[in-house]
Amino acid sequence: MTTIAVLSQKGGTGKTTAVRTFTDVFRRIGLRVLAVDLDPQGNLSDYLDVDPDAAPTIGDVLADRAKPAEAVHDGIIPANLGLAEAELVLGGKMGRELTLKRALRDLRADYDVILIDCPPALGLLTVNALVASDYALLSAEAQYFAMQGVEQALEVIELARDSLNPDLEWLGVVLNIADMRTRHSREAFESLREHFGEKLFDTTIRASIAYAESAERALSILEYRPDLAVDYLNVADELLRRLGMREARERLEALVGSRFAGTSA
Ligand SMILES: Nc1ncnc2c1ncn2[C@@H]1O[C@H](COP(=O)(O)OP(=O)(O)OP(=O)(O)O)[C@@H](O)[C@H]1O
Ligand SMILES: [Mg+2]
């Protein structure tokens, strides 16, 4: 059982799309996945087509108004704007950085992977995600300032490790929304490689309007544009290698061979 937080310092780097797509990929290879929406924007809940009125949500759990198990709806703990208020309440509590970790503790036995989608801020919610996780995965948009964003996110990971979660491991950084035909995407890749070496995933995720279109239709890119989905399948393969999940990797290979057959999320 492993918990992974997906984060970035900047907004709009493709975090939620990544969590949404990994949820689909991992479920197709038979892993039991819990997707946790930790962003008051509730994008992950939308992308996964959760009923907007689904209750309770992660905000209710963090504010002690609901039991974690009650907040799981079809393998997702959704979020809505109420999470912004819950974050404020959380700020005044003892053990405020540990609240999500405690909430997920009882659920861990039911899942192989818990994926946490962080908000675009390195505040208390993201700290809760990092304290509750075994691994952190960074997403960086292929832009000129990608480096700085990664460095700032790394500082927060370091902070979580030094204080409350010494076992937290950094899985690496994925260059997202990239157009490798352009010089600025290639330069972003090169500078990340130079600074972070193997921590930079070899696979980059291509920029395509198809991601916004598929999100609008609440479809996974595997269903909507299987040709583009190859990027995420390759990132998932690198991810499983970094996690040492050999059997899951073999199943992923079989899935790719069978052109993504099976159930979907
Ligand atoms: N590879 C891609 N190419 C082009 N657009 C993408 C790609 N991945 C995601 N997008 C689009 O970019 C926008 C932001 O993506 P997403 O919501 O995944 O980012 P995010 O990092 O979670 O954003 P936020 O910081 O607001 O939570 C969305 O409209 C999404 O559909
Ligand atoms: Mg998001």
Is a pLDDT exceeding 80 seen at residue 223?
A: yes
pLDDT in tens, 50-87: 999 999 999 999 999 999 999 999 999 999 999 999 99
First to last CA, the chain: 19
Question: Which residue in the block uniquely carries the two structure tokens 């304290």?
Answer: 131
Report cis status (omega within 30 of 0) of the bond before 56: yes
Q: Are 139 and 150 in contact (CB under 8 A)?
A: no
Residue 265 is predicted with a pLDDT of 65
Residues flanking ligand 1, CB < 6 Å:
8, 11-17, 39, 41, 43, 120, 176-177, 205-208, 211-212, 215
Which ligand 1 atom minimizes the distance to the CA of 13? 21
Q: Are 167 and 136 in contact (CB under 8 A)?
A: no
Residue 39 is predicted with a pLDDT of 98
Residues in the chain: 265
Residues with CB under 5 A from ligand 2 (ion): 15-16, 43
- CA 166 to ligand 1 center in whole angstroms: 30
Residue 144 is predicted with a pLDDT of 83
Residue 259 is predicted with a pLDDT of 78
pLDDT in tens, 3-12: 999 999 999 9
- Residues in CB range of 16: below 8 A, 6 or more apart: 39, 43, 44, 47, 117
Residue 217 is predicted with a pLDDT of 96
Determine which residue's CA is closest to atom 14 belonging to ligand 1. Answer: 12
| Percent of the residues in the chain that have a pLDDT greater than 90, as a whole number | 94
Q: Which of the ligands is closest to the CA of residue 13?
A: 1
Tokens of 122: 């390195």
Across 123-151, b (16+ Cβ under 10 Å) vs e yields ebbbbbbbbbbbbbbbbbbbbeebbebbe
Residue 206: which pLDDT band, with cuts at 50, 70 and 90?
Answer: very high
Q: Are 24 and 224 in contact (CB under 8 A)?
A: no
Higher pLDDT, 64 or 263: 64
Q: Are 252 and 241 in contact (CB under 8 A)?
A: no
For strand 135-141 and strand 2-7, is the pairing parallel, antiparallel, or unpaired?
A: parallel
Average pLDDT value for residue range 33-39: 98
156 burial type by CB count under 10 A (0-12 exposed, 13-18 middle, 19+ buried): middle
Residue 248 is predicted with a pLDDT of 98
| SS3 (DSSP) at 218 | coil
